[in-house]
Structure 1
């Protein structure tokens, strides 16, 4: 395993995403607001710059999903940072929490002015129509299934599961339009691509996994060394690759009983990060973005 430089170039824009963007543009005029899911571990890197363009000034509810995997203090900072007059922010554990009342209430607050206008004109307010958007693997389909209390959207623990647009009714007050997870054609900041890779938003098959794992190891060595020491029971070295060697030896990841299996080691390391085995980690500091 060679010690590579920090520069990691990652790009991914499958054909179905080009089509999805076009469909989202066409459907945007049918909705009142946008519900944007982001990963609470990477609240800035998991935003899609195209969403700003597509939203076209519509009110937006940002949901920081996977809050159970993120640092709670950092999540509170991010909520304060992202909240604006026409943008509300909720941090949710979409698997364990009863999310429906919270999302419906937040949506009604965002649309309060429009609802009041309809009432003044003698029009009975209809259900709020919201488009659900977000990068791959951020939990959109799980969110829709949980809030609708039935399996409408296909879910999976890998990016790119949802391929088409589909409507679902939450209750008399809210209807949702699900969309495929869309990444953008080019990551202007290389760190964004790395953070999406670490979190699992990009398919491992197309990633330079060794470099992604080394970046994550360096980050944790600098910011959360205690998590590495606790999880792997090793004394950390300054060289990330030396630490991978120690982990492999501890876990018995050896080929032919003696040669270090680095591939298995880095795959296990990234999987354990994504499965929250090291603890709650936020990879972006709200004060620094």
Structure 2
């Protein structure tokens, strides 16, 4: 698969905006995708916000393997980060607000010691399409922050008042300026955090099928009706087999690989293949 890189001009502008806002922020909530918690972290954001109180949210946990999510939570906690799983489409809001209060309590206490009852301002960070706006809307109980399943929709800062003493800042999704880890970049592409329009989606879908066959062969065979005895010599053979299994064919029985690629990616991203985690804690070098 060709190298993946995507850093549109608005991301550089977003980085400058983030730096300007940091002084007004008391804590950060970092959203990662529970299906690839390391690949969906931006090291640049980590370094910029290192001095702030932090809560890591493994979002879209309903799409990830529950056991692997528990292992990832332990991974983050062992490294000193408060972490929690969440499903922005139906997560436990009261528990989430409690964890936010817990993470920001030292900041609030410092203000109280000075005799100040101050609104705590929290910045919500993450890469494109990790679910920041949906998360804020879920916590707030109303549709305020603009959402989409396409990366790069939030372009401007949006302060959202959650309660009398809590405000959240929705920020545009930011990728690192360079995606040096191409394995991680592929995971971002599988999840939809890089625009499909800049990629060869047939190569991408074939690579995803190969990955799924390694991680969960039974689920993958069942969803895409792959032969039990299929031993593909190359990823493209998996995409062709999925075409035949699911009937994605053109006239004359030719494989409609363009349509197949779009559907394979869409069905995985929507969780229709199953609850699947693409990364394991043991794969980390940290």
Question: TM over 0.5: same fold?
Answer: yes
Residues 17-32 of structure 1 mapped to structure 2, 5 A cutoff: 17-32=11-26
Equivalent positions of 1:58-69 (< 5 A) are: 58-69=52-63
Distance 1:46 1:159, change over 3 A: same
Choose which of 162, 166, 180 in structure 1 pairs with 2:158: 166
Match of 1:267 in 2: 262
Question: Kindly tell me: are residues 191 and 173 of structure 1, through their superposed partners in 2, closer, same or farther at Cα, counting changes over 3 Å?
Answer: same
Please tell me whether residue 111 in structure 1 is matched to residue 133 in structure 2.
Answer: no
Specify the alignment match of 1:280 in structure 2.
275
1:137 Cα shift?
A: 0.6
Verify the 8 A CA contact 1:8 1:194 in the aligned structure 2. Answer: no
Task: Classify the secondary structure of the residue corresponding to 1:254.
Answer: coil
Unaligned runs of 5+ in 1: 1-6
Shift in Å, 1:40? 0.3
Q: Counterpart in 2 of 1:179?
A: 171
Distance 1:221 1:265 in 2: 16
1:15 to 9, 19, 23: 9
Corresponding residue number in structure 1 for 2:33: 39
1:215 to partner: Cα distance: 1.7
Structure 1 residue 86, shift from structure 2 partner? 6.0
SS in 2 for 1:132: strand
Structure 2 unaligned segments of length 5 or more: list them: none
- Partner secondary structure for residue 156 of structure 1: coil
Q: How does 1:221-240 map to 2 (within 5 A)?
A: 221-235=213-227, 236-239=230-233, 240=235
Instruction: Judge conservation of contact 1:195–1:283 (CA < 8 Å) in 2.
Output: yes
Cα distance per residue 1:86-126 (max 9 Å; x no partner) = 63111001111232x223222222222232333333x1432
User: Offset of 1:80 from its aligned partner?
Assistant: 0.9
Aligned counterparts of 1:243 and 1:114: Cα–Cα separation in 2: 53
Q: Secondary structure at the match of 1:260?
A: coil
SS of residue matched to 1:143: helix
| SS of aligned partner of 1:83 | helix
Q: Aligned residue for 2:206?
A: 214
Structure-2 change in CA distance of 1:132 and 1:53 (3 Å): same
Contact 1:104 1:173 in 2 (8 A): no
How far the C-alpha of 1:84 sits from its partner, in A, is: 5.8
Which deviations, in whole Å up to 9, do the C-alpha atoms of 1:45-93 show, x marking residues without a partner? 0001111122041111111110010011111111111126863111001
Q: Is the 8 A contact 1:159 1:202 kept in 2?
A: yes
**Which residue of structure 1 lines up, in the alignment, with residue 84 of structure 2?**
90
Match of 1:73 among 67, 71, 76: 67
Computed over aligned residues only, the root mean square deviation of the Cα atoms, in angstroms, reads: 1.6
Aligned residue pairs, count: 281
Give 1:189's match in structure 2, choosing from 174, 181, 184: 181
Using structure 1 for the length normalisation, give the TM-score. 0.92
Matched residue SS, 1:186 = coil
Kindly indicate whether residue 243 of structure 2 is the aligned counterpart of residue 248 of structure 1.
yes
Aligned residue in 2 for 1:57: 51
1:107-155 deviations in Å (ceiling 9; x for gaps): 222222232333333x143221100111111111111111111221111
